[in-house]
């Protein structure tokens, strides 16, 4: 059975790169009818928090990822202890009593000699008396994995191809810290093996860890899974995508008014595209059926906020249903301080969904439909502050009193006014636009007239006559 997993550490917001890893891992499992596991890697007690975990899960759900099994490493410590014991008994691991200062000295020495640092292996062979003495003194210790000398660890990465790493590049590494908590490279193996993970899909920054993990698989007699390391995501300046590039967490985009469907779709195309098509807009179901690790590019992908924004615009304009858009739009309206009834929002959105690319931009652009009092730009004020405009508006109210109002009716009335006062069509329209929206550009007057109830239209015109 195909089993993949996403294994985030709850030490911050969900980064776009990690979200893409999660998505690829998810699509891979779903494509093969396999299982997708979510495992929270929270053994680093200092950096992990429950708040980050909660937000992580929320963001993953928001993106539309659902998992079949959930684990939290901090709840599995007994299990890791058992496997530490096994490694000790089989001679693959040993306690190391070196102090931080001693290790620091080793490191400095290596630096002075200009060679890469690796642990000297000093505690590999402690005399029994020495061991007794340390135990009697309750001297703190870590547990290290005994790395066999001179091994070349080789694996076939499903994305990166053939990888060979000499274990002499690293020394015996710590698998249990002196506070008793196990480290990543150790627990990731125990978990992936016990959870039956067949494919480890993760960022390429983990390639240097993989040989360490393979050695532990071997030492414990576990079957080694397949590895697929995803290339990094770069910013447009070709450096690794980071906070310097602005918004890089899923939450940032969620709060800016990106739709989860659009972000999901966009992230999929960061380093992957289905062979044989130029298409870019795909539903989740299509992505599940098209996704293949073989089509993942082995070189880095470049994140473009502009492209993501464009794609979000496509989703808003033509992909999601109006109902869906309304459901996403209302919280943004409410956060901006407007209350609105669903039916009304729906009528607004139906006519305007082609005019904005993010929900927050939408609220900014469409707030004119929701405000109690229109705010006037300087240009609009200039248009309204003269006698001619007064005449236009008075005549409008007079004519409007005998009819209902919609775009067509307002156009007819405007034409009559234009004739009666000897004005240009554009001038009349300008006055109406300035009165109803407070702006000389933006949302069309016809849309306003079609969507807003008659009494609110009249009210806006009357207000101009009252205050200008
Ligand atoms: N907790 C690790 C991380 O967030 C997981 C790496 C892995 O997938 O093995 O980078």
DSSP string computed for 158-206: TTTEEEEEEGGGS-S-EEE-TTSPBPHHHHHHHHHHHTT--EEEEEGGG
Locate the ligand 1 atom nearest the alpha carbon of residue 21 and give its number: 8
Q: Is 226 helix (H, G, I), strand (E, B) or coil?
A: strand
67: CATH = 3.40.50.620
467 in the same domain as 387:
yes
Residue partners of 325: CB distance under 8 A and separation at least 6:
316, 349, 353
How many residues in total does the chain contain? 468
Q: Which of 135, 154, 176 is the last residue of a domain?
A: 176
Measure 292 CA to ligand 1 centroid, in angstroms. 21
Residue 268 lies in a domain: no
135 in the same domain as 201:
no
Residue 226 lies in a domain: yes
Beta carbons within 10 angstroms of residue 216's beta carbon: 25
Is 40 within 8 Å of 71 (Cβ atoms)? yes
Is 339 within 8 Å of 372 (Cβ atoms)? no
82 in the same domain as 59:
no
Locate the ligand 1 atom nearest the alpha carbon of residue 8 and give its number: 4
68 in the same domain as 187:
yes
Is 216 within 8 Å of 143 (Cβ atoms)? no
Residue 424 lies in a domain: yes
128 in the same domain as 47:
no
Residue 322 lies in a domain: no
Q: Which of 150, 176, 202 is the last residue of a domain?
A: 176
Query: Catalytic residue among 61, 139, 240, 243, which?
Result: 243
Beta bridge partners, 230, equal 203
Residue 445 lies in a domain: yes
Measure 205 CA to ligand 1 centroid, in angstroms. 9
Q: Is the CB of 212 under 6 A from ligand 1?
A: no
Closest CA to ligand 1's atom 5: 7
Locate the ligand 1 atom nearest the alpha carbon of residue 202 and give its number: 8
Q: Which of 202, 209, 225, 226 to mutate to test the pocket of ligand 1 (most atoms within 8 A of CB)?
A: 202
Residue 133 lies in a domain: yes
Q: Looking at residue 85, what is its pLDDT? A: 98
The C-alpha atoms of residue 48 and residue 19 are separated, in whole angstroms, by 18
Q: Is the CB of 8 under 6 A from ligand 1?
A: yes
Q: What is the pLDDT along the chain (468 residues), one digit of tens a residue?
A: 999 999 999 999 999 999 999 999 999 999 999 999 999 999 988 899 999 999 999 999 999 999 999 999 999 999 999 999 999 999 999 999 999 999 999 999 999 999 989 999 999 999 999 999 999 999 999 999 999 999 999 999 999 999 999 998 899 999 999 999 999 999 999 999 999 999 999 999 999 999 999 999 999 999 999 999 999 999 999 999 998 888 899 999 999 999 999 999 999 999 999 988 889 999 999 999 999 999 999 999 999 999 999 999 999 999 999 999 999 999 999 999 998 899 999 999 999 999 999 999 999 999 999 999 999 999 999 999 999 999 999 999 999 998 999 999 999 999 999 999 999 999 999 999 999 999 999 888 999 999 999 999 999 999 999 998
Residue 442 lies in a domain: yes
Q: Which of 41, 47, 48 to mutate to test the pocket of ligand 1 (most atoms within 8 A of CB)?
A: 41
Q: Looking at residue 350, what is its pLDDT? A: 96
468 in the same domain as 384:
yes
Closest CA to ligand 1's atom 6: 7
Q: Is 34 helix (H, G, I), strand (E, B) or coil?
A: coil
Q: Looking at residue 276, what is its pLDDT? A: 85
For residue 135, indicate whether it is catalytic. no
Locate the ligand 1 atom nearest the alpha carbon of residue 188 and give its number: 9
Measure 212 CA to ligand 1 centroid, in angstroms. 14
Q: Is the CB of 202 under 6 A from ligand 1?
A: yes
What is the residue range of 386's domain? 372-468
Q: Is 3 helix (H, G, I), strand (E, B) or coil?
A: strand
Measure 203 CA to ligand 1 centroid, in angstroms. 8
Q: Which of 5, 18, 157, 188 to mutate to test the pocket of ligand 1 (most atoms within 8 A of CB)?
A: 188
Task: Work out how many domains the chain is built from and give that number.
Answer: 3
190 in the same domain as 66:
yes
96 in the same domain as 66:
no
The C-alpha atoms of residue 249 and residue 172 are separated, in whole angstroms, by 35
Locate the ligand 1 atom nearest the alpha carbon of residue 6 and give its number: 8
Residue 216 lies in a domain: yes
């Amino acid at each position: 059975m195909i089993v993949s997993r996403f294994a985030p550490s709850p030490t911050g917001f969900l980064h776009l790169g990690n979200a893409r890893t999660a998505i690829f891992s998810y699509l891979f499992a779903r494509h093969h009818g396999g299982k997708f596991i979510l495992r929270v890697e929270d053994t680093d007690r200092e950096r992990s928090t429950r708040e980050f975990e909660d937000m992580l899960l929320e963001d993953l759900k928001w993106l539309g990822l659902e998992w079949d099994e959930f684990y939290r490493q901090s709840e599995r410590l007994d299990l890791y202890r058992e496997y530490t014991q096994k490694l000790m008994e089989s001679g693959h691991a040993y306690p190391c009593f070196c102090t931080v200062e001693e290790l620091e000295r080793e490191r400095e020495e290596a630096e002075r000699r200009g060679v890469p640092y690796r642990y000297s292996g000093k505690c590999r062979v402690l005399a029994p008396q020495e061991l007794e003495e340390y135990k009697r003194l309750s001297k703190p210790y870590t547990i290290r994995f005994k790395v066999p000398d001179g091994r070349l660890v080789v694996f076939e990465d499903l994305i990166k191809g053939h990888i060979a790493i000499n274990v002499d590049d690293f020394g015996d590494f710590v698998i249990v810290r002196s506070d008793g908590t196990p480290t990543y490279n150790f627990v990731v193996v125990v978990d992936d093996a016990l959870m039956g993970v067949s494919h480890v899909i993760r960022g390429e920054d983990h390639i240097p860890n993989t040989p360490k993990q393979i050695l532990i698989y071997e030492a414990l007699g576990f079957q080694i899974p397949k590895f697929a390391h995803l290339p990094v995501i770069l910013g447009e300046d070709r450096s690794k995508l980071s906070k310097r590039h602005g918004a890089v967490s899923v939450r940032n985009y969620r709060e800016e008014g990106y739709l989860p469907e659009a972000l999901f779709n966009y992230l999929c195309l960061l380093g992957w595209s289905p062979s044989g098509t130029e298409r870019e807009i795909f539903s989740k179901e299509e992505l599940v059926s098209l996704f293949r690790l073989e089509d993942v590019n082995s070189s880095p992908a470049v994140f473009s906020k502009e492209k993501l924004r464009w794609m979000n615009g496509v989703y808003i304009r033509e992909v999601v249903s109006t109902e869906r858009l309304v459901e996403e739009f209302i919280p943004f309206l409410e956060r901006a301080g407007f209350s609105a009834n669903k039916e009304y929002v729906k009528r607004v959105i139906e006519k305007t969904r082609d005019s904005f690319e993010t929900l927050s931009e939408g609220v900014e652009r469409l707030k004119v439909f929701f405000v109690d009092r229109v705010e006037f730009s300087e240009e609009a004020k200039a248009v309204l502050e003269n006698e001619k405009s007064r005449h236009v508006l008075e005549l409008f109210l007079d004519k409007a009193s005998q009819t209902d109002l919609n775009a067509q009716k307002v156009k007819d009335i405007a034409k009559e006014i234009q004739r009666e006062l000897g004005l240009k069509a554009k001038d009349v329209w300008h006055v109406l636009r300035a009165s109803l929206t407070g702006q000389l550009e933006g949302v069309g007057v016809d849309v306003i007239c079609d969507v807003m109830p008659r009494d609110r239209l009249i009210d806006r015109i009357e207000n101009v006559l009252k205050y200008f």
